[in-house]
Amino acid sequence: MSQEPKTSKSRTIDKASEKMMDKATSEKVSTAWDRFEAVKVQCSYGVKGICCRHCMLGPCRINPNDESSRGICGADAETMASRGLLRSAAAGCAAHSDHGYDVAHTLLLAAKGELPNYKIKDTKKLMAIAKEYGIDTTGKSVNEIGVLVAETAISEFEKAHGGLRFLKRMPEKRLKLWEKLGIVPEGVNSEIVTSLHRTNMGMGSDYYDTFMNSLRVSIADGWGGAMIATELTDILFGTPKPIRSKVNLGVLSEDMVNVLVHGHEPLLSMMIVEASQDKEIVELAKKAGSKGVNIAGICCTANEILMREGIPVAGNFLQQELAIVTGAVEAMVVDVQCIMPSLPSVAACYHTKIISTSKKAKVRDAIHVQFEETKAYETAKDILKIAIDNFKNRDKNKVNIPSESMDIIAGFSSETLSYMQGGVYRASYNPLVENIKNGKIFGVVGIVGCSNCKVQQDFANVTLAKELIKNNVFVVNTGCAAIASAKAGLMVPEAMELAGPGLREVCEAIGCPPILHAGSCVDNSRILVACTEMIKHGLGTDYDELPIAGAALEWMSEKAITIGNYFVAQGALVVIGVPHMVTGAPKLKKLMYEDIEGITGGKFAVEADPYKACELILNHIAAKRKKLGI
């Protein structure tokens, strides 16, 4: 793909980002967009998925114009592309699952009383999960039950056989189909290990089998690692409820110490939020000449603390460098995933300190303050002290905080949605299902995923969301796509004005915006649960009958491959804006974009234009409605 140098306006629809991009250019700071344009032509083999470096005979690549072209071992394009896809799906599963494992481990130690700073917050959810796990709770204390729930969750990762417990949440029909297809995962870690084994030199060369196993490891993410991350985070920190906050770079403060938390895990960031109100910290911040400490988030760490504490969001993935360019950030604290290695060099142009905290993701040229759960609060305070101490180094001449900040109501867990429809005593998905049946709500679509320099930032995600609600489609957002909607003002009651009359009526009755923020990317598991609830409340008998779809028009991460995969395995249409790196393998491509529909009921479709993507989705939903007879 060749790229002409672009203007900041053509790179994003977000005013705050545009301003900071211009500031970066004038201050000679290079951002992801500049580096993307500097590449000029991206590797044509890589983009098609027809290169391989899985052994030292290679690297090998396939001549796309020669059908007989092979790697040295004899691997063809289909083998190479499908192996690459499976490795990526396993990597995505690993990222969500390692995050989930850490949450489970923290819950275990907290319930054992070994972590003074953490305690079980949501006992209702704890009891519900204990029941699901078949744990006998009679006569046991909350902490004793917490230990058993955490141990059971941990065993879901570590076991090699037996199947994942949360799969029992699904209607029998889908499970039976998956059994027939051989894609029911056993344990989370074993699926990742087997996927890496399968993709070794001299292993499977059947692209169909390799692709189906990429679905299998992705299911281990959706119904395993990611779902455990979501449920156990709820137990530890509370199940989200509707909460007000603000979003975009304008949430940074002129006169406070600004600390950004960036990455994915809530374990440390929740402590930083708490410690920022500590008397000692507040006094130190005032002594340093500021009005206090202002915490805001980037990426999914932001979503986690927004959903539970109402902490403002500074921006999504492509705004991480731009946040530093404001010149007003004293510290950016990073944990794991989606952290650009460029941050220290951007920070070097300002006074910002980049602080890495995870032993799994050390960042070169950053300050490393290792996060240990046993002294979480202390670590949080140490980090805040570094930030406060750095306030004096802020160069007023370099500070320019964009004015853009938008209101948002977030915090829509599956439980909240159910509660909002019926109150404490009649919490239920019945009203939603009834309104889908009577046509007031045409369908439900999840818009998820990242931002990507290949497409204009936020444009496709925001436009698709607007188009869908106009057509009475209820939209559920997660990840960076949710932050995009929020920045565009779509997550406030006023957004109701943009919705079609049927959807508006329902949203007004329930009291929610037509586009819901459902959380971080691991929280896509909440969408799986919501779809399951719809079936349980009488909408069809299996997921592929539902008037639903998924969309990830600006995706970039391997985690998004995994998420897309598990929705396709579930039976959903998933529209992506950037094609998978498999286009050099025509048979695999046909399987993923066409034939898989006859196998799981779901499929991928590539459509970067949000208006056409909307049309595609509406037609798909219309066909599903017709089949359901509604």
Binding flag, residue 12, ligand NFS (CB under 6 A): no
Cβ 263 vs Cβ 300: under 8 Å: yes
- Residue closer to ligand NFS, measured from CB, 281 or 299: 299
Answer with the entry of ligand SF4, ligand NFS, none that 449 interacts with (C-beta below 5 to 8 A by kind).
ligand NFS
CA 504 to chain centroid: 27
Contact window for ligand NFS (CB under 6 A) among 224-232, 555-563, 567-575, 603-611: 555-563
- Residue closer to ligand SF4, measured from CB, 203 or 348: 203
Q: Which two tokens stand for residue 334?
A: 């990073």
CB 299 → ligand NFS: shortest distance, Å? Answer: 3
- The secondary structure of 425-475, three-state, reads HHCCCHHHHHHHHCCCCCEEEEECCCCCCCCCECHHHHHHHHHHHHCCEEE
d(C-alpha 160, C-alpha 182), whole Å: 15
Cβ-based neighbour number of residue 19 at 10 Å = 20
Answer with the entry of ligand NFS, ligand SF4, none that 60 interacts with (C-beta below 5 to 8 A by kind).
ligand SF4
Binding flag, residue 343, ligand NFS (CB under 6 A): no
CB 1 → ligand SF4: shortest distance, Å? Answer: 25
- Residue closer to ligand SF4, measured from CB, 58 or 171: 58
Among the listed residues 2, 21, 39, 1, the one whose alpha carbon sits nearest the alpha carbon of residue 457: 21
Cβ-based neighbour number of residue 598 at 10 Å = 8
d(C-alpha 130, C-alpha 235), whole Å: 11
d(C-alpha 413, C-alpha 411), whole Å: 6
Question: How far is residue 571 from each of residues 17, 74, 191, 432, 580, measured CA to CA in Å?
Answer: 36, 34, 21, 20, 19
Q: If you compute the radius of gyration of the chain from its CA atoms, what whole number of angstroms results?
A: 24
d(C-alpha 191, C-alpha 182), whole Å: 13
d(C-alpha 160, C-alpha 188), whole Å: 8
CB 75 → ligand SF4: shortest distance, Å? Answer: 4
d(C-alpha 240, C-alpha 508), whole Å: 21
Binding flag, residue 603, ligand NFS (CB under 6 A): no
Positions in 256-275 near ligand NFS (CB under 6 A) = 264
Cβ 333 vs Cβ 260: under 8 Å: yes
CB 565 → ligand SF4: shortest distance, Å? Answer: 23
**Chain positions contacting ligand SF4, by CB under 6 A:** 52-55, 57-60, 71-73, 75, 201
Q: Which two tokens stand for residue 75?
A: 């691997």
Say which residue the tokens 């192996």 belong to.
83
Instruction: Classify the C-alpha dihedral 319-324-329-330 as positive or negative.
Output: positive
247: CB partners within 8 A, 6+ apart:
306, 312, 313, 314, 315, 405, 406, 408, 483, 486, 487
Answer with the entry of ligand SF4, ligand NFS, none that 55 interacts with (C-beta below 5 to 8 A by kind).
ligand SF4
Q: Which of 45, 317, 566, 593 binds ligand NFS (CB under 6 A)?
A: 317
- Residue closer to ligand SF4, measured from CB, 75 or 495: 75
Contact window for ligand NFS (CB under 6 A) among 40-48, 61-69, 219-227, 554-562: 554-562
- Residue closer to ligand NFS, measured from CB, 290 or 357: 357
d(C-alpha 303, C-alpha 518), whole Å: 9
Answer with the entry of ligand NFS, ligand SF4, none that 416 interacts with (C-beta below 5 to 8 A by kind).
none
Contact window for ligand NFS (CB under 6 A) among 238-246, 327-335, 504-512, 553-561: 553-561
Answer with the entry of ligand SF4, ligand NFS, none that 300 interacts with (C-beta below 5 to 8 A by kind).
ligand NFS
d(C-alpha 117, C-alpha 110), whole Å: 8
Q: What does the per-residue mask of binding to ligand NFS show for 493-532, with x meaning CB under 6 A?
A: ---------------------------xx-----------
Angle between helices 558-570 and 77-111 (to 10 degrees): 90
- Residue closer to ligand NFS, measured from CB, 52 or 560: 560
Answer with the entry of ligand NFS, ligand SF4, none that 559 interacts with (C-beta below 5 to 8 A by kind).
ligand NFS
Contact window for ligand NFS (CB under 6 A) among 156-164, 409-417, 557-565, 614-622: 557-565
d(C-alpha 488, C-alpha 215), whole Å: 33
- Residue closer to ligand NFS, measured from CB, 317 or 442: 317
- Residue closer to ligand NFS, measured from CB, 82 or 337: 337
- Residue closer to ligand SF4, measured from CB, 72 or 509: 72
d(C-alpha 577, C-alpha 555), whole Å: 7
| Single-letter amino acid, residue 236 | L
CB 74 → ligand SF4: shortest distance, Å? Answer: 7
Answer with the entry of ligand SF4, ligand NFS, none that 479 interacts with (C-beta below 5 to 8 A by kind).
ligand NFS
Q: Which of 450, 530, 531, 614 binds ligand NFS (CB under 6 A)?
A: 450
φ/ψ of residue 247, rounded to 5: -145, 145
Binding flag, residue 233, ligand NFS (CB under 6 A): no
CB 99 → ligand NFS: shortest distance, Å? Answer: 9
Answer with the entry of ligand SF4, ligand NFS, none that 72 interacts with (C-beta below 5 to 8 A by kind).
ligand SF4
Kindly report the CA angle at 502 between 497 and 507, in degrees rounded to 5?
60
- Residue closer to ligand NFS, measured from CB, 80 or 299: 299
Answer with the entry of ligand SF4, ligand NFS, none that 73 interacts with (C-beta below 5 to 8 A by kind).
ligand SF4
Positions in 297-316 near ligand NFS (CB under 6 A) = 299-300
Query: Footprint of ligand NFS on this chain (CB under 6 A)?
Result: 264, 299-300, 317, 338, 449-450, 479-480, 520-521, 557, 559-560
